[in-house]
């Protein structure tokens, strides 16, 4: 069916990472060929003609950007918790990060009171797998997670660099994330920055996070020189 944008409830948009490059490709495809795949929604209980989006947030954003009035949607006849689990289990071709998995698990735990055992059974995983991903969400400051959601920091950098830093020092993690986002640091540069921080003395660590641009400039210079 065709739905107007005002009918859509986008509660779960924060569970996915935004990739600017991928969004640009999607925008070009929709402009050239139109919407080929419907979004997935469920009816919002107690609200007539209101639908909660389960899958298709990037398509909705792109169609809005193109000035379209409606979006093609398919309505799943089930509760939203069941729809979220089913949608995630159907993502065979999409490489999902552990942090995105953690966001979904945390949402199901908090909003629907799912226990660790129930989550493990629903996703056909172990309780320890669930616990590890929930721990990621609890460990990273919300401001850092928001930078990942918006695409300013890659999920890979968050997992490989910022999570270990957060375990050691939350404030350093936040400062490092701000520097990475401001300078558009890639995975290799972030790894080099983290290695310098990890191997430094406490006094040098403080200097690194207080003046990150100096160390990033050194990293950029080394790459330009071919080192």
Give the count of alpha carbons within 13 A of 5, CB side only. 12
pTM: 0.79
In this prediction, residues 7-12 reach a mean pLDDT of 96
220 within a domain of the structure (yes/no): yes
Please say which residue of 46, 78, 110 terminates a domain: 78
Structural domain for 156, as ranges:
142-224
For the chain, the domain total comes to: 2
pLDDT number for residue 210: 92
Task: Look at residue 215 and tell me whether its pLDDT is greater than 90.
Answer: no
Task: Look at residue 126 and tell me whether its pLDDT is greater than 90.
Answer: yes
**What's the mean pLDDT when you consider all of the chain?**
91
Helix (H), strand (E), coil (C) string for 76-117: CCCCHHHHHHHHHHCCCCCCCCHHHHHHHHHHHHHHHCCCHH
d(CA 111, CA 114): 8
Please say which residue of 78, 95, 124 terminates a domain: 78
135 within a domain of the structure (yes/no): no
pLDDT number for residue 19: 78
Rg (CA), the chain: 20
pLDDT number for residue 93: 44
Judge if 1 and 74 occupy the same domain. Answer: yes
Nearest to 63 by CA among 3, 9, 12, 14: 3
Encode pLDDT of 25-68 as tens digits.
Answer: 999 999 999 999 999 999 999 999 999 999 999 999 999 999 99
pLDDT number for residue 180: 95
Judge if 73 and 146 occupy the same domain. Answer: no
Distance from chain centroid for Cα 37? 22
Distance from chain centroid for Cα 11? 14
């Amino acid at each position: 069916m065709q739905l107007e944008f005002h009918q859509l409830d986008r509660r779960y948009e924060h569970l996915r990472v935004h990739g600017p490059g991928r969004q640009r490709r999607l925008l070009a495809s929709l402009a050239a060929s139109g919407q080929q795949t419907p979004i997935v929604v469920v009816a919002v209980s107690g609200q007539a003609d209101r639908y909660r989006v389960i899958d298709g947030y990037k398509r909705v954003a792109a169609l809005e950007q193109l000035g379209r009035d409606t979006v093609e949607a398919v309505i799943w006849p089930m509760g939203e918790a069941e729809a979220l689990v089913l949608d995630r289990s159907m993502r065979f071709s999409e490489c999902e990060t552990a942090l995105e998995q953690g966001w979904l698990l945390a949402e199901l735990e908090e909003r629907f009171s799912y226990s660790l055992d129930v989550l493990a059974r629903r996703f056909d995983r172990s309780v320890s797998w669930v616990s590890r991903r929930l721990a990621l969400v609890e460990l990273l400051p919300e401001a850092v997670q928001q930078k990942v959601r918006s695409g300013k920091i890659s999920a890979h950098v968050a997992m490989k660099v910022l999570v270990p830093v957060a375990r050691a020092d939350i404030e350093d993690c936040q400062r490092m994330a701000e520097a990475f986002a401001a300078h558009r640091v890639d995975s290799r540069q972030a790894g080099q920055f983290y290695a310098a921080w990890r191997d430094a003395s406490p006094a040098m660590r403080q200097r690194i996070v207080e003046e990150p641009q100096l160390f990033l400039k050194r990293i950029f210079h080394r790459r330009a020189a071919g080192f």
